Structure 1
Amino acid sequence: MLSIIGYLVSIITFPGVIVHEAAHQLFCRINKVAVLKVCYFQFQNPFGYLIHEKPDKAYKNVLIGIGPFFVNTIIGAIIALPGAIPVIEFETGNLLEYFLIWLGVSIAMHSFPSIGDAKNIWKSVWNKETGILLKIIATPIVGLIYLGAVGSILWLDLIYGIAVAMFVPNLLVMIFA
């Protein structure tokens, strides 16, 4: 059951939910897996979801499951960059800069795959047809997804979103300044 705080956070950070589901859809298209149904955002749990056909290879399911981690992280950092640099340099930020930071944090904090993604990856990888190498690679990924879910209770997703939206631009300023 989703707490009231979790519900409000998902509402406030809705752009991240939308990008998360779009990332799943992008990885379905890249892997030529048909999308049967997609909901980018709704005001109930789950806030977004994607249903796709069963991929012909287990590695495709892994890529579809972890796709949002890469897409949300990259897009969150890119969107926050123009807003975060003036704030990092202690200049007075304007409304647009703070909006870009909120948008970047919102998107980046929804980078972590869901428990449903972890279960889907686990189910597709642990069968007779899947090779040992993919099992070795996917097992820690599933473990990390579960750790991320537990960590979200301690606001790990928000901490990650802030780190992506503020640390990456700060790092770029230090490197190129």
Structure 2
Amino acid sequence: MFFIPGVLMSILTFPGVIVHELAHQLFCRWFNVPVFKVVYLKTGNPAGYVLHETVSNKWHAMLISVGPFFVNTIIGAFIAFPASIPVFQFDNATPVDYLLIYLGVSIAMHAFPSVGDGKAIWQTIKESDTPLIVKIIGYPIIGLIYLGSLGSFFWLDLAYGIAVAVGVPKLVVGFVA
């Protein structure tokens, strides 16, 4: 395996970073949480962020943190799906098809919540007024976020992006065709 710095990877997969931050902002809007500042892409760590008001509803706080998992996964698969038919079924792909697959992989690979998102969930569930069910669900999510962060060193995020943007459409096309 070879090492590519996170900043370079963020630049190469910038559409995924932008959609990740947009997903946080979208969940804030759904839950009427005021957003103070959004940085969709920057060099450095983090590659982007959303600053919003403190969320009083613990469920909403957790969903704002994990929102990119759902949004990036769905959008990544949706963008790559039309390209999967010519690429995997007919072998007559155009450069646009490969661009769509790149976009789908890029977006899906940024679906994992960041360590900062995990810290936000941690801050929420350690408060004394957090309902027990939120804690029961939140602690494993935090563990998965940190495992995903560790796994990104071993390209787990890229593997996930490929599975969502290439594997799922290929399976669907295989079932239909």
State the match for 1:134 in structure 2.
134
The share of aligned pairs that are identical, in percent, is: 57
State the match for 2:122 in structure 1.
122
State the match for 2:22 in structure 1.
22
Number of residues of Structure 1 aligned to a counterpart in Structure 2: 175
Structure 2 matches for 1:17-166, cutoff 5 A? 17-89=17-89, 91-166=91-166
Q: CA RMSD in A?
A: 1.2
What is the TM-score of this pair, normalised by structure 1? 0.95
Unaligned runs of 5+ in 2: none
- Deviates most, 128-137 or 80-89: 80-89
Unaligned runs of 5+ in 1: none
Question: Displacement of 1:148 after TM fit?
Answer: 0.3
Deviations 1:53-90 (A, max 9, x none): 01111111100000000000000000011112221125
Q: Give the Cα–Cα distance (whole angstroms) in 2 for the partners of residues 4 and 104 of structure 1.
A: 20
Classify 1:158/1:4 alpha carbon distance in 2 versus 1 (closer, same or farther; 3 Å). closer
Q: Which amino acid aligns with 1:143?
A: G
Classify 1:161/1:4 alpha carbon distance in 2 versus 1 (closer, same or farther; 3 Å). closer
Q: Give the Cα–Cα distance (whole angstroms) in 1 for the partners of residues 25 and 107 of structure 2.
A: 16
Q: Which amino acid aligns with 1:130?
A: T
What is the TM-score of this pair, normalised by structure 2? 0.95
Question: Displacement of 1:120 after TM fit?
Answer: 0.4
Q: Give the Cα–Cα distance (whole angstroms) in 1 for the partners of residues 105 and 135 of structure 2.
A: 32
Question: Displacement of 1:4 after TM fit?
Answer: 5.1
Secondary structure of the equivalent of 1:165?
helix
